[in-house]
């Protein structure tokens, strides 16, 4: 593990001035607003910035998705005009996942009915750590069953899992129960995303693909704010899964602070302007 991670860290440094790779990373961002003080007006303002992005930065692609609390799914549905940007919501008792399964299903179904085409949920971590794997897997399966054609991202909250074996088990359980993506963290717990957790999760995805031919997506999230860190996750995906995973159908990165920092670096490479971007 260490050798692969160290190699990815060293190789990723070569891409820091590669604006095409940085643009790809920007195109893989799930731009997120998950604050207690979010409101319909603040989310509309947030959407307006995405809609207007080409007016200010016509040399970058759009983000992959916008992610909000489920109550704001209809706001995104009504206000989002940018092409190719998906409507993602957190659901199922996010971020603790501590509520009834039928409530998780209803919240998810309502979000999809109001326009969400991506759903991010957290596994029932406590049940998983007690070894109640059948319960955890069945819950994921039941949530997936009410989602129609929407994609499901399952968050392991990897920083709460005690070792790499638990991360592997949680990855495989989530994949086999219907996850379209597996995701490291909510960002609400520490540690959040780590290279070690990513290594294990990516190898679980590789194992499943070799066994079934099905491609599962990967999303590191939580504490990723610099282009340097984002490039390491990019390189890990490339080294373990290959270049065919390097697109926003199979690779996402969850970090709103990262968006501004990538814009800052891309602007510098495109225009020569060395000025911090505070767009989002």
List C-alpha distances in Å: 18 to 15, 195, 258, 265, 266. 5, 22, 16, 10, 9
Is residue 120 flagged as an active site residue?
A: yes
Is residue 148 flagged as an active site residue?
A: no
Strand stretches in the chain, DSSP E: 30-32, 65-68, 86-90, 118-122, 151-155, 181-183, 217-219
SS3 content of the chain, % helix, strand, coil (to 5): 50, 10, 35
Is residue 183 flagged as an active site residue?
A: yes
Backbone angles phi, psi at 243, to 5 degrees: -65, -20
Structure tokens at 91: 């659901």
Which helix (H) or strand (E) element contains residue 96?
none
Instruction: For residue 32, give every residue at least 6 positions away whose Cβ sits within 8 Å of its Cβ, in sequence order, or none.
Output: 66, 67, 68, 254, 255, 256
- Scanning the structure block, which residue is given the tokens 């991010």? 120
CB 201 within 8 A of CB 239: no
From the list 104, 105, 219, 265, the catalytic residue is: 219
Strand order in the sheet with 65-68: 30-32, 65-68, 86-90, 118-122, 151-155, 181-183, 217-219
| Spatial separation of the C-alpha atoms in residues 280 and 265, rounded to whole Å | 15
**Closest-CA residue to 186 (of 93, 64, 74):** 93
From the list 183, 229, 238, 265, the catalytic residue is: 183
CB 249 within 8 A of CB 216: no
From the list 30, 104, 105, 120, the catalytic residue is: 120
Active-site residues: which are they? Answer: 120, 183, 219
């Amino acid at each position: 593990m260490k050798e692969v991670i160290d190699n990815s860290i060293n190789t990723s440094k070569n891409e820091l001035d590669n604006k095409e790779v940085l643009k790809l990373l920007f195109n893989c961002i799930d731009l997120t607003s998950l604050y207690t003080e979010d409101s319909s007006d603040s989310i509309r303002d947030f959407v307006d910035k995405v809609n207007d992005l080409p007016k200010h930065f016509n040399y970058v692609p759009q983000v992959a998705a916008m992610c909000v609390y489920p109550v704001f799914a209809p706001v995104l549905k009504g206000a989002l005009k940018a092409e190719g940007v998906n409507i993602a919501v957190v659901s199922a008792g996010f971020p603790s996942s501590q509520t009834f399964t039928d409530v998780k299903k209803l919240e998810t179904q309502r979000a999809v009915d109001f326009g969400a085409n991506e759903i991010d949920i957290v596994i029932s971590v406590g049940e998983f750590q007690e070894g109640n794997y059948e319960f955890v897997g069945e819950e994921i399966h039941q949530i997936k069953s009410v989602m129609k054609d929407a994609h499901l991202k399952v968050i392991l909250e990897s920083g709460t899992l005690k070792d790499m074996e638990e991360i592997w088990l949680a990855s495989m359980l989530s994949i086999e129960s219907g996850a379209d993506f597996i995701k490291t963290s909510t960002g609400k717990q520490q540690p959040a995303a780590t290279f070690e957790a990513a290594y294990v999760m990516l190898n679980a995805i590789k194992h499943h693909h070799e066994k079934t031919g099905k491609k599962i997506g990967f999303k590191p999230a939580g504490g990723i704010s610099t282009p340097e860190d984002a490039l390491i996750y990019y390189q890990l995906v490339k080294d373990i899964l290959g270049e065919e995973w390097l697109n926003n159908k199979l690779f996402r990165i969850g970090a709103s602070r990262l968006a501004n920092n990538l814009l800052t670096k891309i602007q510098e490479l495109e225009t020569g302007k060395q000025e911090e971007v505070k767009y989002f």
